[in-house]
Amino acid sequence: MCLAVPMKVVEINGDMAVVESAGLRREVGIMLLSNVKLNDWVLIHAGFAITKLTKKQARETLAIFAEGQFFG
């Protein structure tokens, strides 16, 4: 099983960004996406942002993680 986590972009440095969620910060590659901006929500998998999310989508996904309902 693969897991991707919604995280908020808090810093951009070229093709890399610092993202944050639940107090955890990570540096990730953003070269797979175009037009990533500060405060965007992105889905992180294996160290890369793989898609953008709306704030609502990110919050809903994080709420599901918090409830432990990964498998329906």
In a domain, 13, yes or no: yes
In a domain, 45, yes or no: yes
Summary mean pLDDT of the chain? 92
**Nearest C-alpha neighbor of 6 from the set 47, 56, 40, 41:** 41
72 confidence band (pLDDT: 50, 70, 90): low
Of all residues in the chain, the percent with pLDDT exceeding 70 is 93
How far apart (Å, rounded) are the C-alpha atoms in residues 64 and 58?
A: 10
Query: What is the count of structural domains for the chain?
Result: 1
In a domain, 40, yes or no: yes
In a domain, 24, yes or no: yes
In a domain, 72, yes or no: no
Burial 2-25 (b: 16+ CB within 10 A, else e): eebbbbbbeeeeeeebebebeeee
Single pTM value for the model: 0.88
65 confidence band (pLDDT: 50, 70, 90): confident
- The CATH number of whichever domain residue 34 belongs to comes to 2.30.30.140
The 10s digit of each residue's pLDDT in 31-60 is: 999 999 999 999 999 999 999 999 999 999
In a domain, 26, yes or no: yes
Instruction: Note down the domain range covering 27.
Output: 5-67
